[in-house]
Structure 1
Amino acid sequence: MATIYNHDRIYFPEDPELRVLGSVEKLAQWRHRNRGPAFMRIGRRIGYLGSDLNVYLSAQRVDPSEGAK
């Protein structure tokens, strides 16, 4: 599994590192629809654990060679 995000860090929607996933608005839509990476509430703020982001990105991986049989 590739590690893009630091496992021990909490990322917030406004962090530039999260632009890989989409805009702040897209992340909000995903949360509202119970989609996207796992998140946590810290008071009124939303945070994403780096380890959860890495797991989410790994789950999105598509290997075209697996479908060509």
Structure 2
Amino acid sequence: MANLFDQNRNYVLGDDELNLIGDRDKLAQWRHKSMGPAFYRLGRKIIYRGADLNAWAEARRVEGG
């Protein structure tokens, strides 16, 4: 599996790399609906772990056929 995100990095809202999976509004919708990648809510700050983002992306991988 090729990693889209750095496994050992934490990403916060506003990091450009998160735009790869969705804009700020889309990520908020997914969090509200419990649909998106796993995240931490620390106070008002949202944090995504690179390993969780990669696992979420890999689960959505589609094989060509």
Q: TM-score, normalised by structure 2?
A: 0.92
| Whole-angstrom CA distance in 1 between matches of 2:27 and 2:21 | 8
> Size of the alignment, in residue pairs?
65
Give structure 1 regions of 4+ aligned residues with deviation exceeding 3 angstroms: none
Report the identity percentage.
48
The alpha carbon displacement at 1:24 in A equals: 0.2
What is the SS of the residue equivalent to 1:63? coil
Q: Match of 2:23?
A: 23
| Whole-angstrom CA distance in 2 between matches of 1:56 and 1:62 | 13
Q: TM-score, normalised by structure 1?
A: 0.87
Gaps of 5+ in 1: none
Gaps of 5+ in 2: none
Q: Match of 1:39?
A: 39
